[in-house]
Amino acid sequence: MLLGNVEFQHRHAAQLHTHANAYAERLIGSIRRECLDHVIVFHEAGLRRILKDYFEYYERCRTHPIEPPLLRNVIEIPKVGGLYHLYKRKAA
């Protein structure tokens, strides 16, 4: 009887938090599609390094809009092992 009650409570709590699950699923899907589908991971340390680079790129570069650079003053900086690139203007 006690286990059946716990199972019911778990199902009820999961139904109340369906929107929170959507945010997590979207983040995990973005990580998979934009990063992990393009690399081969051989060990845990390599996965941690790739994910650390991707999260740094995601937080610092991707989320902030920038104005279009002039082509003659652009520096290309590879991110996430060259999978993505950050473009910055050269100092004048």
User: Residue 90, exposed/middle/buried by CB under 10 A (0-12, 13-18, 19+)?
Assistant: exposed
pLDDT tens digits, residue range 49-84?
999 999 988 888 775 565 665 567 778 889 888 888
Rounded distance, CA 3 to CA 23, Å? 30
The structural domains of the chain, with segments of one domain joined by +, span 1-34, 39-92
Q: Where are the alpha helices (DSSP H) in the chain?
A: 2-16, 18-34, 44-57
pLDDT tens digits, residue range 41-55?
999 999 999 999 999
Of 43 and 8, more confident: 43
